[in-house]
Amino acid sequence: MERTTLRRRALVAGTATVAVGALALAGLTGVASADPAGTTAPPVSADSLSPGLLAAMERDLGLDADAARSRIANEYRAAAVAAGLEKSLGASYAGARVSGAKAALTVATTDASQTARITEAGARAEVVGHSLDRLEGVKEALDKAALRKAPKDVPVWYVDVEANRVVVNAASTAAGTAFLKAAGVDGALVTVARSAEKPRTFADLRGGDAYYMNGSGRCSIGFSVKRGTQNGFATAGHCGRVGTTTNGFNQQAQGTFQGSTFPGRDYAWVATNANWTPRPTVNGYGRGDVTVAGSTAAVVGASVCRSGSTTGWHCGTIQQLNTSVTYPEGTISGVTRTSVCAEPGDSGGSYISGNQAQGVTSGGSGNCRTGGTTYFQPLNPLLQAYGLTLVTSGTPTDPPTTPPTDPPTDPPGGTWAVGTAYAAGATVTYGGATYRCLQAHTAQPGWTPEAVPALWQRV
């Protein structure tokens, strides 16, 4: 029951909008809570879709603009119907997927008496032997075994709702069988498939666009967020640890990682200084930015596009939800498997379906020259983990601004000063309050004590 509740919350939690890629965060346009209540997003408008997104779908999915608009609208309706049926079918629910050019929805159940309910909702009914809860219970046992000891030569495992089985991808049948034995799971519910896949995370150390961690490694911004009055962005956990500082695409001081989880999951958020203003957009890489209207999770088979600072726009389809994958650094669970390509530096960047934010790029295999498989960390669990809200469209905001080339120093108001090296335990005054330094650092413009709680604690 708990798995069902969490899955449902992830499907509908929080309407939202985004800012990603090499763009700085700019201009608040409203926010929406991660609270799952009252989160139904508006229907997809054919006129609201970015030309860049449509062009990428034509290139990667072979859809012209009209076909892409129609498919996105159908996929959004399918996600809404699937969410309702998951609730009404209860323990007999066995998953949902879309297929074909028109994104026809199929919903599976273990109870043949429920087929009429599914058909009446506008979906194709399929009777199968195993409920989604049962299959996810098997996968959960595999996840726990991987946390105890990462499996050797077993890169990926997931619930395949179309096959109604758990699939374990392994370098050899022996490796997959050994993993099942270590987890103590029922092999009758599992298919071991041979795979040469070698997933890796997509951060690199070569420099480029997007944002830089501690002045060196590069990742991509995911989604504009707020926590209370603090602005920031969501990204991948493997890009930095709590306290890691970031510079923006223009190498100006930007922010600090406030929360980060990796391995296990792959999510993080960065609090930004006053020179960076969140916008509800995704970088369109010369084809027009994309505004995202919500964060309703798409179903298996739905189209999805990714924006990243190395390879720009690329599209594909969602292959499996709630996937587990083993990187050299360890195993992560709960990611979504896609046919979209990505390369180093794309990590942390946005995944969107139509105008609905989906998640942040984690890692994968292959590249954008020969194709590949990529995994994203779903966005709604990230928001819930850190108590974040997403910046969304629809709320009036201040006029657009861009980060200045030379950001101004922070206003006076105490002993804190830009350029000063502070040791852990040092105290300063700022704005009439006293703060204690939590981590050694050199103060940068915008890193005022009240704005960067990872560095300063009010006393």
347 as an active site residue: the answer is: yes
Catalytic residue among 131, 220, 238, 346: 238
Are 395 and 32 in contact by the 8 Å Cβ rule? The answer is no
- The span from the CA of 172 to the CA of 166, in Å, is 17
Are 340 and 57 in contact by the 8 Å Cβ rule? The answer is no
Are 343 and 161 in contact by the 8 Å Cβ rule? The answer is no
Output the CA–CA distances (angstroms, integers) from residue 202 to 236, 325, 361, 376, in the order listed: 10, 14, 8, 11
441 as an active site residue: the answer is: no
The distance from CA 101 to its chain's CA centroid, rounded to whole angstroms, is: 25
Neighbours of 93 (CB within 10 A): 25
130 as an active site residue: the answer is: no
Angle, helices 2-12/379-386, rounded to nearest 10 degrees: 100
The distance from CA 416 to its chain's CA centroid, rounded to whole angstroms, is: 36
Catalytic residue among 347, 350, 362, 393: 347
Kindly report each contact of residues 176-180 with a partner whose C-beta sits within 8 Å and lies 24 or more positions away, as own/partner: 178/151, 178/152, 179/142, 179/145, 179/151, 179/154, 180/142
Catalytic residue among 266, 289, 346, 410: 266
- The span from the CA of 259 to the CA of 233, in Å, is 11
Active site residues: 238, 266, 347
